[in-house]
Amino acid sequence: MGEDQGVDWSLVTDDLKGALAVLRPTYDRSGGADGFVSVELAPALAHDTQASVAAARALHRRLAEPNLLVKIPATAEGVRTIREATAEGLSINVTLLFGLDRYEQVIEAHLQGLEAHDGDLSAVHSVASFFVSRVDTEVDRRLEAIGTPAALALRGRAALAQAKLAYRLFRDRFSGPRWQALAARGARVQGPLWASTSTKNPAYAETLYVDGLIGPDTITTLPEAIIAAFEDHGTLATTITDGVQDAEATLERLAEVGIDLGQVAGLLEDEGVAEGGPRSPAPTTDCCRCCRPERIGVRGMSASTLDPPGAVQPTAPAQPALAGPDQGAYPPIADYALLSDCHSAALVSRDGSIDWCCFHRFDARPVFARLLDWSGGGHFRIAPPGPNPGRHLGHSLRS
């Protein structure tokens, strides 16, 4: 997240400081191997190298804890960000990795950054978050569209195969004379982190993406349901190096039936950035756990503590909004309370009904511009851009 992105940073930094403090003993006991807390930059920075480096630098200076990782998406511009941030000695979590070509670029950027850093390399930490199940979801969709027996036989196999080859690439690049020279200066490996490990297809075993990816220097992110399933019937063994030749054959067969994994990775990367990173399915009213109600002022739009820095607010009482052909008439803001925990929100009317629910994040100024009609006299209307405006709209509002 970026400080200029409209987040209430007093809440964000308090939460981060608390999490960092809770996990600091783990970090210390493990010698810097565990106990990290990650915070992501605003999606708007995904294609801006200099702004991303500046934001990562500011976060590390603000929080000043060795167990902080700043998430940087592995876009083309993000690869340059990784190199520059690592060269400054900043610890990062590379996120939104979906393909082997980009992963190789990320490793190279990390190594170049370490080589350029003239400080203590033992204090520079990094992981590379490789997303797993989302690859199968997209590849399976394409295989089913192809529909041939050869294509259908490959469903549910792309993600594990690619991850196993990614681990082989990791082992190859973090060995040999180049890496040994960095390790002699205290450098730590940039371990693969397996993300998106819950199966999306109910026909697949719950622990499919866990059982097959266990090995040294790896990290796995696990939802609670998958933890319980693994404890019940998972396989605890080193499996990441098993079946590598089969994995190579699987990728060859995917190409033969017409699957371009590079194109799949590019699509998933674009979707991940557009969504602000991976997240659960769109929430419903049940997900609003509102920790801090705020009453939004009417007429002059008195500022609430959630107002984004730099948002344009009327300085004089505004006139009532005029309904036009493309604008419905909505109740005044005074009839609603905005309840938000800075991750989701709801507009709740006086009768207790929820008229609009669950904007995922408040990290961009246009969110409030869309939510509140600042120039319309204290009325609100929502008109999100993009192909899926209904995604963020309650049934009683219209754009």
Q: Which of 397, 392, 398 is nearest to 357 (CA)?
A: 392
Active site residue 71: yes
Q: Which of 106, 253, 259, 254 is nearest to 190 (CA)?
A: 106
Residue from 17, 71, 164, 200 carrying the catalytic annotation: 71
Cite the beta strand spans of the chain per DSSP E. 37-40, 68-73, 92-97, 126-131, 191-195, 219-220, 292-294, 336-340, 345-349, 354-357
* Radius of gyration of the chain measured on its C-alpha atoms: 24
* The two three-digit tokens of residue 106, written as one number: 């990320």
* The two three-digit tokens of residue 36, written as one number: 């990290």
303-334 as b/e, with b when 16 or more CB fall inside 10 Å? eeebbbeebeeeeeebeebeeeeebeebeebe
Using the structure block, give the residue that is written with the tokens 């190594």: 111
Q: Which of 379, 380, 378 is nearest to 359 (CA)?
A: 380
Positions annotated as catalytic residues are 71
